């Protein structure tokens, strides 16, 4: 009973903390005169990925990095196939040319790199360092783009209250840290009681729980007409999960998981990104939402069938 209560409470803290942290981070970014697209791909993406980071660090320290791996890979499938799929049901989404060239390519490359490095059944500390290097390269490209855009957006950017945004970030981060501890505790307990592998729990239950901030951010951005922010948050979050959070967990504690266990999440994560790629006008059509939701349903079925086998 305690495990379920811990998991539910953790999910609630993740949702509340993610919302507070996103609001504060976006406020600080506006105060610093950063364009909306860059906010989504970096600040908002980092904020909404904080639950996954907290889970990864706590799980790795506890010697259970499989939870962090399953959570990060599962969250990537949830982010694109489920969350973006739901957002697209409202209407199509317009993407920026810069996001297509930079973020989509890296988001597609990440699962391929992870699969290659996991071919020997282990993600070592050296593998983690290599992936972190790739993340730094992507982040540098984003920073360069932000500097280029700053002059054009400086006058139009809203001047937000810096101290209010900072307080929102602090309180949000506190909730997110608590959420990570609670979710890891609940997930481990449930895995043991049902005899289910911690990796499977991580890529389903925990993944959905820690992806709630992305869901709230994307839906709010979609309803308010800020497509670039919502899409940037999802793509940026996937990049953070694949090239930052998983490597951090591997550096703390090398991850040993069979290639067959990660193949499902990697393949469906890559498939979801492929079906999300915009057309020549950089537009993602509404019909893609139905396809993405079908991909997520197939992913859940594949996970269940694999576990039963």
- Which pLDDT tens digit goes with each residue over 37-46? 677 778 777 8
Q: Which residue has the higher pLDDT, 205 or 112?
A: 112
3-state SS assignment for residue 122 = strand
pLDDT at 154: 53
- The domains of the chain are located at 2-308
Phi, psi of 284 (to 5 degrees): -100, 115
pLDDT at 161: 65
Reported as a pLDDT band with limits 50, 70 and 90, residue 156 is very low
Residue-wise pLDDT tens digits, 266-309: 999 999 999 998 887 888 888 999 999 999 999 988 988 876 76
| pLDDT above 90 (res 185) | no
Distance of alpha carbon 131 from alpha carbon 126, whole angstroms: 9
Distance of alpha carbon 253 from alpha carbon 245, whole angstroms: 12
What does DSSP say about strands 93-94 and 283-284: parallel, antiparallel, or unpaired? antiparallel
CATH superfamily of 2-308: NCX, central ion-binding region (1.20.1420.30)
The answer to whether the beta carbons of residues 68 and 246 sit under 8 Å apart is yes
pLDDT at 124: 93
**Cross-strand partners of 255:** 123
Closest by CA position to 238, among listed 61, 89, 113: 113
| pLDDT above 60 (res 249) | yes
**Cross-strand partners of 284:** 93
């Amino acid at each position: 009973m305690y495990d379920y209560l811990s998991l539910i409470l953790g999910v609630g803290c993740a949702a509340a903390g993610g919302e507070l942290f996103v609001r504060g981070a976006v406020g600080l970014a506006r105060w610093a005169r950063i364009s909306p697209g860059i906010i989504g791909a970096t600040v908002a993406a980092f904020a909404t990925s904080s639950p996954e980071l907290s889970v990864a660090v706590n799980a790795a320290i506890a010697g259970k990095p499989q939870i962090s791996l399953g959570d990060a890979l599962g969250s990537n499938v949830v982010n694109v196939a489920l969350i973006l799929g739901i957002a697209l049901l409202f209407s199509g989404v317009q993407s920026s040319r810069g996001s297509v060239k930079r973020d989509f390519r890296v988001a597609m490359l990440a699962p391929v790199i992870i699969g290659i490095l996991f071919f020997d059944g282990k993600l070592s500390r050296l593998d983690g360092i290599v992936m972190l290097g790739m993340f730094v390269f992507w982040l540098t490209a984003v920073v360069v783009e932000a500097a280029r855009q700053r002059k054009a957006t400086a006058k139009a950017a809203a001047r937000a209250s810096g101290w209010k945004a900072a307080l929102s970030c602090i309180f949000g981060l506190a909730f997110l840290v608590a959420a990570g501890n609670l979710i890891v505790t609940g997930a481990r307990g449930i895995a043991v009681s049902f005899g289910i592998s911690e990796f499977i729990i991580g890529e389903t239950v925990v993944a959905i729980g820690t992806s709630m901030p992305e869901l709230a951010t994307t839906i709010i951005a979609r309803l308010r007409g800020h497509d670039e922010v919502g899409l940037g948050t999802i793509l940026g979050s996937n990049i953070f999960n694949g090239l930052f959070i998983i490597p951090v967990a591997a550096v703390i504690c090398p991850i040993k998981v069979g290639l067959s266990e990660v193949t499902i999440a990697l393949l469906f994560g890559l498939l979801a990104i492929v079906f999300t790629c915009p057309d020549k006008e950089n537009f993602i059509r509404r019909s893609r939402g139905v396809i993405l939701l079908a991909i997520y349903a197939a992913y859940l079925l594949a996970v269940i069938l694999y576990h039963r086998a």
